[in-house]
Amino acid sequence: MVKKIVLWGAFLIIIALIGVYVYRNILVEKAVESGSTYALGVETNLGSARLALRGGSIQLNDFAVDNPPGFGADDFLTLRRGVFDVDAGSILDQEVVVDSFVIEGVTLNLEQLDGKGNFKVLLDHINKQLDMSSSGESRKFRFGLIALRDITVSGSLSLMGKKHEKSFTLDDFGVRNVGGEHGATIGQVTATVVKTLITKALSSGSGLLPDGFGKNLSDLKDQGLDKVKTEGLDKLKDLGKSLTGEKK
């Protein structure tokens, strides 16, 4: 009898722990979606979030950003997988310290329809949000490095009833010290990543995207995007360990 009670007690504890784990994953998922939607001005969806049982890492899967209304593609941006390498001691704090955030499998759909670009719509909203306070988010993040790799950019230009499409692969790159000394909300981090990605794609796509996209490069300087500093990832070999779960 006592043995059965002990077994049932252990079983209930396991179920409770699983419930807490699942609940925390859902909280992470909702926080990413709500913060990103606020920052970008379009709906976002995260397939799943997985917080390591022992802490130290968070994996995000299948993140998608809707295209602004009026444009053809369903998604403006999709990310297959991203892994946070978190300081385990800060994971539940109001300020979370992230050593690295590696994003893999990025697809960016740039569209220009009769002179109007979907990227310009998002950039206008992002810049307004970055100049304003957050949407009530209190938890802040400081990232040592955000790295993006395996990036495919598609460009679609529609002008006078004719559509031209091209695509190319964007070199892997990273951005350091996102959040600075005071930290940034999830929405602000998302806005920074998307803004940088658009900048890199447009500046690197000269001659690779359909003729006409180049006319918008001057707009980047007006928004200060030409000052965004990134670096190549060819020397950062250890980043692969974050995606395989290995320890540095």
Whether 95 shows a pLDDT value over 70: the answer reads yes
DSSP string, the chain: -HHHHHHHHHHHHHHHHHHHHHHHHHHHHHHHHHHHHHHHSS-EEEEEEEE-TTSSEEEEEEEEEEPPTT-SSSEEEEEEEEEEEE-GGGTTSSEEEEEEEEEEEEEEEEEEETTEEHHHHHHHHHHHHHTS--SS---EEEEEEEEEEEEEEEEEEEETTEEEEEEEEEPPEEEEEETTTT-B-HHHHHHHHHHHHHHHHHHHTTTTSPTTGGGGHHHHHHTTGGG---EE-TT-TTHHHHHHT---
Residue 140 confidence (pLDDT) = 84
Arithmetic mean of pLDDT, 214-232: 52
Residue 80 confidence (pLDDT) = 95
Of 19-28, 36-45, 235-244, the least confident: 235-244
Whether 42 shows a pLDDT value over 90: the answer reads yes
Handedness of CA 102, 51, 26, 178 (dihedral sign): negative
Residue 11 confidence (pLDDT) = 38
Residue 233 confidence (pLDDT) = 55
Where does the pLDDT of residue 15 fall: very low under 50, low under 70, confident under 90, or very high at 90 and above? very low
Arithmetic mean of pLDDT, 123-145: 74
Residue 132 confidence (pLDDT) = 59
Arithmetic mean of pLDDT, 201-205: 81
Residue 141 confidence (pLDDT) = 84
Phi, psi (degrees; rounded to nearest 5) at 29:
-60, -45
Q: What is the mean pLDDT of the chain?
A: 75
Residue 231 confidence (pLDDT) = 61
Residue 25 confidence (pLDDT) = 61
Residue 52 confidence (pLDDT) = 67
Where does the pLDDT of residue 226 fall: very low under 50, low under 70, confident under 90, or very high at 90 and above? very low
Q: Domain of 219?
A: 2-244
Number of domains in the chain: 1
Whether 5 shows a pLDDT value over 60: the answer reads no
Maximum alpha-carbon separation in the chain: 81
Whether 146 shows a pLDDT value over 80: the answer reads yes
Where does the pLDDT of residue 7 fall: very low under 50, low under 70, confident under 90, or very high at 90 and above? very low
Arithmetic mean of pLDDT, 13-33: 57
* CB-neighbour burial class of residue 206 (10 A; exposed 0-12, middle 13-18, buried 19+): exposed
